[in-house]
Every structure is written in structure tokens, then in C-alpha cells.
Chain A
């Protein structure tokens, strides 16, 4: 889905650095999500937002923060990156007002390596 984009696609950084991952969508969806994917652990929810003024912690929010700058933009920040945050990060969207409010559409992913 080109409608959900993530930047950067790949990032290598060092321990202690602040990192921001960005997600944009042109689907007009109100709901946005951040997941991380690790081998054998599936997709784990970090944060989710049901509208611009609504931010919720997911299963593994420690060490992360988010910002919903607009309905179409949802950013994930690592304030002080550590090696065990090395993972593949996915943004996803869903639309409460669409015919399929439960379907989540994923971005292409950001591969983050923390050295």
C-alpha cells in the first residue's frame, strides 16, 4: 500500500542517540498504530492513536514516545536508543468510518539497528 509510507526505511544508529521514525498516510484513516517485529515474537503493539487527541500505550511502550502531529502523521521516537530496540518497525492505519474499520493497513517498515 503506497498509501501508508514510513521514513526512513533503514537506519543505523548508536546507543544513546535520539531517533524519530515517521509515518504518513493518505487513506484518510483516523486510527494509527506502531508495532515492532522481532523474530519469533510476532508483531507487538508499542502505541496507538484513535484520533489526533487520543494516544494510548500498547504492550511495550517503555523507552518509546509518540506524537500525532495531524490525522495523517504519527511519529515514533526513541529518546535514548539501546541495542535491544534493534527491530523492524511497522506503522499501520485503520478507519473507523470505513466499510472495514477493523482492517489494518501496514506501511513498508523501518529496519532500525542500534549499535
Chain B
């Protein structure tokens, strides 16, 4: 069935360093890949997304890359700040507005 694998499960970086989180999906028909951020005690919120017709997308300090051939996509955060500390989830979907299959989550800790 559809599956999304996310690594690493935890990631600790120094403030100012970069962080990379990787996901692999199984359903080759997937065409939409969002990333959600969940701060402690809060709800998940969308931070960036990418569609299968695009290889990379940037929004200030965050970027997402997609390799359709290898069926994996990654989140890149540059110049990390303590407020980037949170759990990040990747997800994949095959239909516009359809159900999302989430990865297991990565707990990012940015140390000042």
C-alpha cells in the first residue's frame, strides 16, 4: 500500500547550521508533497509544498527538492534558528485535494 518513510527521526543542529530531512514515497502516482511543522503542543501547519511538475521550491530559509525518479523529496532549512525547533512531517498525495499519507515525523532541535 501507500507508504512514506521519513528520516531522521530526530535531528539536533547548532543555531545557524543547515538541517535536511528526507522522505521516500512508495506510490509512483503521488503528485503532491507538502511539509507540515508542529510546534510543541500545537497543531500541524503547512510550511511549504511542491508538485510533481517542479523539481525545487524555495521560500526564504526553507526549500524542498523532489526527485521523481528516485521517489524521494527533502526539506532544507538554512540558517536555523531556535524557533525552527519543532516536529516536521512530510506527506504525499496522488489526487488534488485527496488524502495525505504522512511520514513518521522528525523532531528538530536547534541549539542556541
Contact = CB atoms under 8 A, between A and B. Distances in A.
Contact of B89 (A42, A94, A108): A42
Contacts of A101: 96-97
Interface in B84-109: 89, 93, 96-105
Interface stretch (A12-20, A43-51, A69-77): A43-51
B80 interface: no
Given A42-B105, A43-B44, A43-B102, A103 B49 contact: yes
Contact of B99 (A1, A33, A90, A96): A33
B46 interface: yes
Interface in A66-115: 90, 94-96, 101-104, 106-109
Interface in A9-61: 31, 33, 35, 40-45, 48, 56, 58-59
Contacts of B105: 40, 42-43
Nearest to B91: A43
A58 B93 contact: no
A105 to B, nearest CB: 8
Interface of A: 1, 31, 33, 35, 40-45, 48, 56, 58-59, 90, 94-96, 101-104, 106-109
